Amino acid sequence: MNKKRFAAVSLIVVLFLGAAFVVARTAVFKPADGVKGAKIPPGEYDPAVWGRHYPLEYKSYQRNLAMEPSPAGYGGSMKIQHSIRQPEILTNFKGMAFGKDYAEDRGHPYALTDLKETQRITPKSPGACMTCKTVHLIDIYKEMGWSYAKTPLGDLFPRMKHSIVCGNCHDPATMDLRVANPAFIEAMQRRGVDIKRATREEMRSYVCGQCHVEYYFEPETSIVIFPWDKGLHPEQMYAYYGDIPKGFAGDWLHPDSQVQMLKAQHPDFETWIGGTHGKAGISCVDCHMPYVRESGKKYTSHWVTSPMKHIETSCRPCHSQTPEWLMDNVKTTQNNTWQLQHTAGKTVAKAHEVIGKVRLLPNISRSDLDKARELLRKAQWYWDFVAAESSMGFHNPSQVMNVLGQSIDLAHQAIAAANRAGGRTIDRFMADSMQQIE
Ligand code: HEC
Ligand code: HEC
Ligand code: HEC
Ligand code: HEC
């Protein structure tokens, strides 16, 4: 064989092996499907009952009860207050519930208990708050439609026994993946996507995307809405909110700066979708619920936690780099994100303080003050979009860095505009704000 031909044949062989690997990864790694047909009756939500038919999945689900920090240093399953490490949260969320209680999230079995215990809600809070916390949403929505959303939470509590369990993601008859949250189905419909026609690969992210997203409650009805009509990028969602959809002007009025603020809620799906892995079609489940083996059986791990606790099963099926390299890469991204997030948060807090002071001065320029408020609203949205996201930058490092950079710039512009409104010079504002941020 001459060299050219050898090269061509080698290339074909390599391409074939590559394609075979991709097919094998989904086909061969997929667990043997001998468990279907257990036929759990509809309305049976107790995970222990499901667990009698699916013991391996149940046993791994039970691991979600363990609480431990992430080995990478940021995430983790501990119920700790974010404001300990980021005191700027107390300023930025002043006047609303997150200023009182904003704990790190933990495992799915705790969602309902945490909902009942958080100081952010009372029995009078809207029923909409339970949408992503319990499997009983399914029956309650079937019975009441969206009217459950404005029913007081206290009236619905007696009907809620189980947290996020098997039924949130599986049809009991077929064990196929399903989406229970109507808000996700409707938001996708408005984007022209019919969930019923989703592929298995897509469902492996949609089941998570039904809850791990940004949302708001429509005024009057409290219906849960995902602000995706213009797109899933933070800038597109900000533009969507700018139109005051169905009279929704914001989540609360900040008492110091008097700005109508938006509160971002864990936009994991939106951040992931534009990142390297999201674009490559790698699902949430690939990393967070990897295939594992036990006594010769292959199954999907239902321990939904930081993938950095099991790099070998989460990352290494696709990456040949060493576990140390992968851990170091994640830590670097997270450290860089944390540093800019903290800077952005503090700069935003400073802007609230400056606007809060300037607005009480006599003879100020109203138009400059309005400008400052608009800049601050956007700066905080960009900061919060990252701060509320769960992966400390990993799901989409380049977007996160860009958004935080814009947040810092917008917050400085807000401070400058507020100082102009109060007739203060730029030099003075720079000196003051630099001192505060250090
Ligand atoms: C947060 C969503 C979620 C919850 C909650 C959940 N599952 Fe799953 N489950 C999945 C996903 C995703 C897969 C992979 C399906 C696929 O790739 O087609 C899966 C797969 C399975 C399978 C197929 C075999 C396998 O291991 O891949 C069984 C059986 C199963 N789950 C049982 C359970 C049981 C029992 C519970 C409750 C104790 C449960 N699941 C809770 C998402 C979930
Ligand atoms: C029904 C809504 C819902 C669904 C479906 C759901 N989650 Fe969650 N998830 C939550 C809530 C709520 C929490 C926080 C629970 C708490 O701290 O009380 C959470 C927490 C988590 C955590 C943090 C756990 C920890 O150890 O800190 C991870 C990781 C996670 N979810 C990933 C996923 C993935 C991946 C999927 C899809 C396979 C998924 N979730 C599906 C609502 C959901
Ligand atoms: C390529 C792998 C990968 C994919 C795909 C992925 N994640 Fe993650 N996720 C991570 C890593 C890595 C972290 C950071 C874990 C840490 O800090 O220890 C993380 C963190 C999280 C956390 C916080 C966990 C904690 O311990 O606090 C949640 C929640 C989460 N991801 C949900 C999702 C959802 C929902 C999707 C899909 C829309 C998704 N992830 C897609 C790798 C992935
Ligand atoms: C299902 C396959 C798959 C899994 C699982 C997976 N990755 Fe990836 N990863 C990819 C692909 C594909 C790319 C795109 C670049 C490439 O071709 O190498 C990528 C790119 C990356 C990059 C470089 C791009 C970036 O976003 O910075 C890092 C870092 C990375 N992955 C880390 C991880 C870590 C950490 C995990 C486990 C938590 C993980 N990956 C899990 C397939 C995967």
Nearest partner of 131 among 189, 218, 197, 43, judged by Cα:
218
Ligand 4 atom nearest to 276, measured from its CA = 26
For residue 39, what pLDDT is reported?
Answer: 80
For residue 10, what pLDDT is reported?
Answer: 57
For residue 17, what pLDDT is reported?
Answer: 47
Nearest partner of 210 among 164, 175, 246, judged by Cα:
164
For residue 19, what pLDDT is reported?
Answer: 47
Atom 19, ligand 4: residue with shortest CA distance: 277
Encode burial over 225-241: b for 16+ CB neighbours within 10 A, e otherwise.
Answer: bbbbebebbbbebbebb
Do the strands 216-217 and 224-225 form a parallel or antiparallel pair, or are they unpaired? antiparallel
Question: Which of the 8 DSSP states describes residue 29?
Answer: S
- Both tokens of residue 48? 């222990």
For residue 35, what pLDDT is reported?
Answer: 52
**Ligand 3 midpoint to CA 317 (Å):** 17
Q: Decide: 216 and 264 in contact? Cβ < 8 Å.
A: no
Q: Decide: 123 and 153 in contact? Cβ < 8 Å.
A: yes
Residue 164 CA to residue 179 CA, distance in Å, equals: 13
Residues 6+ away with beta carbon under 8 Å from 13: none
For residue 68, what pLDDT is reported?
Answer: 85
Q: What is the dihedral of CA 299, 302, 306, 308, to 10 degrees?
A: -20
Q: Decide: 147 and 126 in contact? Cβ < 8 Å.
A: no
Q: Which residues line ligand 4 (CB under 6 A)?
A: 276-277, 280, 282, 286-287, 307, 314-315, 317-319, 326, 329-330, 397
Q: What is the pLDDT along the chain (438 residues), one digit of tens a residue?
A: 455 665 555 545 544 544 444 444 444 445 444 455 678 998 999 999 999 999 999 999 999 999 888 999 887 666 667 777 889 999 999 999 877 777 666 899 999 998 988 878 888 899 999 999 999 999 999 999 999 999 999 999 999 999 999 999 999 999 999 999 999 999 999 999 999 999 999 999 999 999 999 999 999 999 999 999 999 999 999 999 999 999 999 999 999 999 999 999 999 999 999 999 999 999 999 999 999 999 899 999 999 999 999 999 999 999 999 999 999 999 999 999 999 999 999 999 999 999 999 999 999 999 999 999 999 999 999 999 999 999 999 999 999 999 999 999 999 999 999 999 998 755 555 556 555 554
Ligand 1 atom nearest to 207, measured from its CA = 2
Three-state DSSP class for residue 224: strand
Q: Decide: 377 and 260 in contact? Cβ < 8 Å.
A: yes
**Ligand 2 midpoint to CA 427 (Å):** 47
- Both tokens of residue 145? 């439609």
What single string gives the DSSP state of each residue in 397-438? HHHHHHHHHHHHHHHHHHHHHHHHHTT--HHHHHHHHHHHH-
Residue 422 CA to residue 366 CA, distance in Å, equals: 9
List residues bridging with 45 in a β-sheet. Answer: none
Q: Which residues line ligand 1 (CB under 6 A)?
A: 31, 35, 47, 50-51, 54, 57-58, 61, 164-166, 168-170, 175, 177, 200, 204, 207, 285, 289, 299-300, 302
For residue 3, what pLDDT is reported?
Answer: 56
- Both tokens of residue 171? 């049809």
Q: How many residues in total does the chain contain?
A: 438
List residues bridging with 217 in a β-sheet. Answer: 224
What single string gives the DSSP state of each residue in 36-102? TT--PPTT---HHHHHHH-HHHHHHHHGGG---B-TTSS-BS---BGGGT-THHHHHTTTSGGGT--
Ligand 3 atom nearest to 308, measured from its CA = 18
Residue 15 CA to residue 225 CA, distance in Å, equals: 45
Q: Decide: 418 and 368 in contact? Cβ < 8 Å.
A: yes
Radius of gyration of the CA atoms of the chain, in A? 24
Residue 26 CA to residue 24 CA, distance in Å, equals: 5
Q: Which ligand approaches the C-alpha of residue 320 most closely? A: 4
Number of H helices, E strands in the chain: 19, 6
For residue 22, what pLDDT is reported?
Answer: 43
